């Protein structure tokens, strides 16, 4: 254990494999497998597991069974909140009031909306201007808060856009400010195409701090397209961020963004944080087991390096027995 | 460009693909391909390219043609030193006085010796105790310095050993001190099995600084087994290190170490450093071209994420034309 004094003592991992991960898989996974994935992730110590999406099933057929998944998870969701020493959260994406209603009917207590830092991606992904996307979420966030739900806002393309190239910090700051003003509890800064580097991360978080946005209301969401996700995440932590998004086994991405590849693998992050003496509450062996199990269901090996090495090692141990 | 003030303004990349990379390939690459690889790497702006090894060919058959490679490189090595704005270096590994003689006969001007931070790896890799390995290099380093050669010393297993587990900082410090005392210009700290995390890197470099070893005499050499290589390298740079080892295309590893996988990919490092405003002198496009060319010769895609994305992108551009 080599505690890094510049990192926080504890980090909340916002696990996105069942939603952001499976949304990007070519194959559709049965609802019972999704529910088992969520349950296994909770069993591995993850307390926030983004579970599904209530967007129009025509957009994301992979997650068309959100109601069924939440229904299968009812026993787990009924678990007393503090059985793990922390409240359990099963957030879901909602695109509009209709999605919010569906989510609430399924007993969802935490919802996520999604905006874009750039005009082009707003048009490509949501067929509206960046500001129209934001205004469209005002009634959704207002209603969600009125019902006492937790609200997170994703902001896509914070560090680069495949059509526009570099993104102005001021644009990201203004979108984040608008989302927090309308009532979101936190914003998650997405490097949707995985181009960010550590210097950019420092500058962006500086810009948000200068604008008065507290670090506790910011999460980071890095993709590993250029192999930078872990370095970027650790840099964000050294800037005071304490919530980071990751995907068990490294699965997922964004099907609507050119060149997007997988999310930061939760296991690679946990290896780094365990080594730095940062508490996550995750049982790495159980998490690796879960990702190996899921990779079998997806029919391809996990892209996570930690999963590959530890899975191989435990197989080796078994075959030596 | 987002300059990180905690990183050095410029970094020397010690390119290891032709030696550490190819040494770990199952197939043997012809000497003319190796020579072309070295020439292309220099063409991409890398000024230190570890070229081959004068160990017993029975140990490393992949590099049995060291003499032929250096002979093919004679025209390039005859290039005036400052044509690239920096002296060119083509170091080679030497295991003993006989290897040194072979290297000198081939016109080699920079040699590398290799020690172990742990007893077990010293025995497994070199069939001697850790101290015997060190003492055996005294005449080699002495002779090399007497001839005016540059001398680097690799230290394996600095951050973890597959048999012994964690490695004491004091052991690494004492091995480094001994190698520098006997005349080595610099030591390269190897995370041979890729288990290190950033906290360990900080602590190890602290321990060396406290022992009075100047940062300019230390290089770092990370493997990406657990996906930590880039984060560890950037952490070392933030601790004042300015020489880092990397392998174009991410090829290579250590065939004698259990669980070792590829080196840090030079391209992934260059992407990170370009973003942080750190000068390397590398032309990333030419480097990616080189790694794509080499991957074709090795018959498998490069494990570097930057290579995969940029190669795909340039192919896309070509096919759109």
Q: Which of A192, A231, A259 should one mutate to test binding to chain B, selecting the residue with the greatest count of B CBs within 10 A?
A: A231
Are the C-beta atoms of residues B270 and B287 closer than 8 Å to each other? Answer: yes
**Rounded average pLDDT over B273-278:** 95
Q: Give how far the C-alpha of residue B260 lies from the chain's centroid of Cα atoms, to the nearest Å.
A: 15
Backbone angles phi, psi at A116, to 5 degrees: -125, 140
**Out of A112, A158, A254, A270, which one is annotated catalytic?**
A254
| pLDDT number for residue B316 | 55
| pLDDT number for residue A105 | 98
What's the pLDDT band for A198 if we cut at 50, 70, 90? very high
| pLDDT number for residue A316 | 55
Q: Which of B231, B278, B309, B315 should one mutate to test binding to chain A, selecting the residue with the greatest count of A CBs within 10 A?
A: B231
Q: Which tops the pLDDT comparison, B5 or A234?
A: A234
Give domain status of residue A101, yes or no. yes
Give domain status of residue A275, yes or no. yes
Average pLDDT, chain B: 92
| pLDDT number for residue A2 | 73
**Rounded average pLDDT over A281-303:** 94
Nearest CB among B199, B227, B271 relative to A226 is that of: B271
Q: Which of A199, A261, A278, A279 should one mutate to test binding to chain B, selecting the residue with the greatest count of B CBs within 10 A?
A: A199
| pLDDT number for residue A144 | 98
The tokens for A227 are 């192999």
Q: What is the CATH number of the domain that holds A54?
A: 3.20.20.70
Chain A nearest CA to B273, separation (Å): 8
Nearest CB among A4, A198, A268 relative to B272 is that of: A198
Query: Which residue in chain A has the smallest CA separation from B167?
Result: A1
Give domain status of residue A141, yes or no. yes
Q: Tens of pLDDT along B81-107?
A: 666 667 899 999 999 999 999 999 999
What's the pLDDT band for B254 if we cut at 50, 70, 90? very low
**Rounded average pLDDT over B161-187:** 96
Q: Tens of pLDDT along B125-144?
A: 889 999 999 999 999 999 99
Residue contact A305–B226, C-beta within 8 A: yes
| pLDDT number for residue A49 | 98
Chain B nearest CA to A257, separation (Å): 14
Q: Which residues of B touch A202 (CB under 8 A)?
A: 2, 4
Q: Tens of pLDDT along B33-79?
A: 999 999 999 999 999 999 999 999 988 999 999 999 999 999 998 87
Q: Which of B9, B11, B169, B197 should one mutate to test binding to chain A, selecting the residue with the greatest count of A CBs within 10 A?
A: B197
Q: Tens of pLDDT along B11-39?
A: 999 999 999 999 988 888 999 999 999 99
Residue contact A231–B230, C-beta within 8 A: yes
- The reply to whether ipTM tops 0.90 is no
Say whether A239 is catalytic: no
Nearest CB among B200, B202, B275 relative to A198 is that of: B275
Q: Strands B52-53 and B48-49: what pairing?
A: unpaired
Residue A242 sits in which domain range? Answer: 12-283
List the one residue out of A123, A127, A93, A100 whose CA is nearest residue A21. Answer: A93
Q: Which tops the pLDDT comparison, A237 or B303?
A: A237
Chain A nearest CA to B204, separation (Å): 10
Q: Which tops the pLDDT comparison, A78 or B264?
A: B264
Chain B nearest CA to A3, separation (Å): 6
Q: Which tops the pLDDT comparison, B210 or A25?
A: B210
pLDDT tops 80 at residue A164: yes
Q: Is A49 helix (H, G, I), strand (E, B) or coil?
A: strand
pLDDT tops 70 at residue B257: no
- Rounded Cα–Cα distance for residues A12 and A261 (Å): 23
The tokens for B154 are 């690799």
Instruction: Quote the number of domains for chain A.
Output: 1
**Out of B176, B239, B254, B270, which one is annotated catalytic?**
B254
Query: Which residue in chain A has the smallest CA separation from B272?
Result: A197
Residue contact A305–B261, C-beta within 8 A: yes
| pLDDT number for residue A256 | 45
Chain A nearest CA to B4, separation (Å): 5
Q: Tens of pLDDT along A55-111?
A: 999 889 999 999 999 999 999 988 766 666 678 999 999 999 999 999 999 999 999
- Eight-class DSSP state of A52: E
Query: Which residue in chain A has the smallest CA separation from B260?
Result: A309
- Rounded Cα–Cα distance for residues B44 and A278 (Å): 39
Chain A nearest CA to B65, separation (Å): 33
3-state secondary structure chain B: CCCCCCCCCECEEEECHHHHHHHCCCCCCCHHHHHHHHHHHHHCCCCEECCEECCCCCCCHHHCCHHHHHHHCHHHHCCCCCCCCCCCECCEECCCHHHHHHHHHCCCCEEEEEEECCHHHHHHHHCCCHHHHHHHHHHHHHHHHHCCCEEEEEEECCCCECCCECCCHHHHHHHHHHHHHCCCCEEEEEECCCCCCHHHHHHHHHHHHHCCCCHHHEEEEEECCCCCHHHHHHHHHHCCCCEEEEEHHHCCCCCCCCCCCCECEHHHHHHHHHHCCCECCCCHHHHHHHHHHHHHHHCCCCCCHHHHHHHHHHHHHHHHC
Q: What percent of chain A has pLDDT over 90?
A: 80
Give domain status of residue B139, yes or no. yes
List the one residue out of A297, A248, A181 whose CA is nearest residue A18. Answer: A248
Residue contact A2–B272, C-beta within 8 A: no
Are the C-beta atoms of residues B297 and B31 closer than 8 Å to each other? Answer: no
Residue contact B268–A230, C-beta within 8 A: no
| pLDDT number for residue B81 | 64
The tokens for A100 are 């919010």
| pLDDT number for residue B1 | 62
Query: Which residue in chain B has the smallest CA separation from A204?
Result: B2
Q: What percent of chain B has pLDDT over 90?
A: 80
Q: What percent of chain B has pLDDT over 70?
A: 93
- Rounded Cα–Cα distance for residues A302 and A251 (Å): 7
- Rounded Cα–Cα distance for residues B266 and B245 (Å): 8
- Eight-class DSSP state of A161: B
Chain A nearest CA to B192, separation (Å): 14
Q: Tens of pLDDT along A266-285?
A: 999 999 999 999 999 999 99
Q: Which tops the pLDDT comparison, A80 or B108?
A: B108
**Rounded average pLDDT over B173-182:** 98
Average pLDDT, chain A: 92
Could you tell me the pTM of the whole model? 0.92
Give domain status of residue A299, yes or no. no
pLDDT tops 70 at residue B184: yes
Q: Which residues of B touch A200 (CB under 8 A)?
A: 2, 275
Are the C-beta atoms of residues A156 and A125 closer than 8 Å to each other? Answer: yes
**Rounded average pLDDT over A140-148:** 98
Give domain status of residue B73, yes or no. yes
The sign one gets for the Cα dihedral B194, B200, B203, B206 is positive
Q: Tens of pLDDT along A242-253?
A: 999 999 999 875
Residue contact B305–A202, C-beta within 8 A: no
Q: Strands B218-222 and B186-191: what pairing?
A: parallel
**Rounded average pLDDT over B225-254:** 93
| Binding-site residues on chain B for chain A (CB distance < 8 A) | 1-4, 196-200, 202-203, 224-228, 230-231, 234-235, 259, 261, 265, 268, 271-272, 274-277, 304-306, 309, 312-313
Give domain status of residue A52, yes or no. yes
Query: Which residue in chain B has the smallest CA separation from A229?
Result: B231
- Rounded Cα–Cα distance for residues A314 and B119 (Å): 25
Residue contact A228–B230, C-beta within 8 A: yes
pLDDT tops 80 at residue B256: no
Give domain status of residue B1, yes or no. no
Residue contact B304–A271, C-beta within 8 A: no
pLDDT tops 70 at residue A321: no
């Amino acid at each position: 254990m080599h505690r890094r004094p510049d990192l926080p003592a504890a980090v909340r991992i916002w696990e996105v494999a069942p939603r952001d991960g499976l949304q990007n898989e070519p194959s559709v996974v049965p609802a019972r497998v999704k529910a088992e994935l969520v349950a296994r992730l909770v069993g591995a110590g993850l307390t926030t597991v983004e579970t599904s999406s209530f967007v129009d099933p025509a957009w994301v057929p992979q997650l068309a069974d959100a109601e069924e998944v939440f229904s299968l998870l009812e026993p787990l969701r009924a678990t007393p909140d503090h059985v793990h020493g922390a409240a359990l959260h099963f957030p879901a994406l909602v695109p509009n009031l209709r999605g919010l209603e569906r989510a609430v009917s399924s007993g969802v207590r935490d919802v996520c909306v999604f905006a874009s830092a750039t005009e082009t991606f707003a048009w490509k992904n949501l067929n509206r201007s960046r500001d129209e996307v934001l205004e469209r979420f005002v009634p959704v966030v207002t209603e969600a808060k009125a019902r006492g739900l937790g609200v997170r806002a994703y902001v896509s393309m914070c560090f680069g856009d495949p059509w526009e190239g570099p993104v102005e910090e001021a644009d990201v700051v203004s979108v984040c400010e608008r989302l927090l003003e309308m009532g979101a509890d936190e914003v998650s800064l997405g490097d949707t195409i995985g181009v960010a580097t550590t210097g950019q991360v420092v500058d962006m978080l500086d810009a948000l701090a200068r604008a008065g946005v507290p670090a506790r209301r910011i999460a980071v969401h890095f993709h590993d397209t250029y192999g930078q996700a872990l370095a970027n995440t650790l840099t964000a932590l050294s800037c005071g961020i304490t919530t980071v998004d990751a995907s068990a086994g490294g699965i997922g991405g964004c099907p609507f963004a050119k060149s997007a590849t997988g999310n930061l693998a939760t296991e690679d992050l946990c290896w780094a944080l365990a080594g730095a003496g940062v508490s996550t509450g995750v049982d790495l062996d159980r998490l690796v087991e879960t990702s190996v199990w899921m990779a079998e269901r997806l029919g391809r090996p996990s892209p996570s390096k930690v999963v590959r090495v530890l899975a191989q090692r435990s197989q080796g141990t078994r075959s030596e027995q």
